[in-house]
């Protein structure tokens, strides 16, 4: 487990505690990341996966579709998180600990337009 994983787990632990309200901070941040594509998130993912690569933003149709699907998925999670049990932090814990390849590929597609 690297330092980035520990920091992300700490942040999402806090989100899990405060996520018992009607607003899911993890989903809001995720939707903002999909819309704005800040460089700090790409660097975070590079550190999480031990694969830092420079980011070149692209605006192709494939990137647009990936961003729309991801935003829609996060919005659905946001609606589901209104229930008394926060779902987003649990999914985030699985992604942070497991570092699945599919998540990295989605982020790469959103940022680089593979």
Predicted confidence (pLDDT) at residue 38 exceeds the cutoff of 50: yes
Query: What are the CB-based long-range contacts (under 8 Å, 24+) for 69-75?
Result: 70/30, 70/34, 70/106, 70/110, 71/31, 71/34, 71/35, 74/27, 74/30, 74/31, 74/34, 75/27, 75/31
CA atoms of 55 and 32, how far apart (whole Å): 18
- For residue range 86-108, what is the model confidence (pLDDT) as tens digits? 788 889 999 999 999 999 989 98
Predicted confidence (pLDDT) at residue 39 exceeds the cutoff of 60: yes
Predicted confidence (pLDDT) at residue 113 exceeds the cutoff of 50: yes
Determine phi and psi for 70, rounding to 5 degrees: -65, -40
């Amino acid at each position: 487990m690297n330092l980035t994983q520990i920091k992300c787990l700490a942040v999402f632990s806090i989100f899990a505690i405060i996520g018992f309200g009607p607003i899911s901070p993890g989903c809001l941040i995720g939707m903002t990341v999909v819309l704005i594509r800040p460089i700090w998130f790409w660097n975070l993912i590079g550190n999480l996966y031990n694969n830092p690569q420079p980011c070149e933003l692209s605006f192709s149709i494939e990137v647009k579709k990936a961003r729309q699907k991801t935003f829609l998925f996060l919005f659905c999670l946001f609606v589901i998180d209104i229930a008394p049990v926060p779902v987003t932090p649990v999914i985030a814990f699985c992604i942070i600990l497991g570092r699945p390849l599919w998540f990295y590929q989605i982020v790469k597609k959103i940022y680089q337009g593979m």
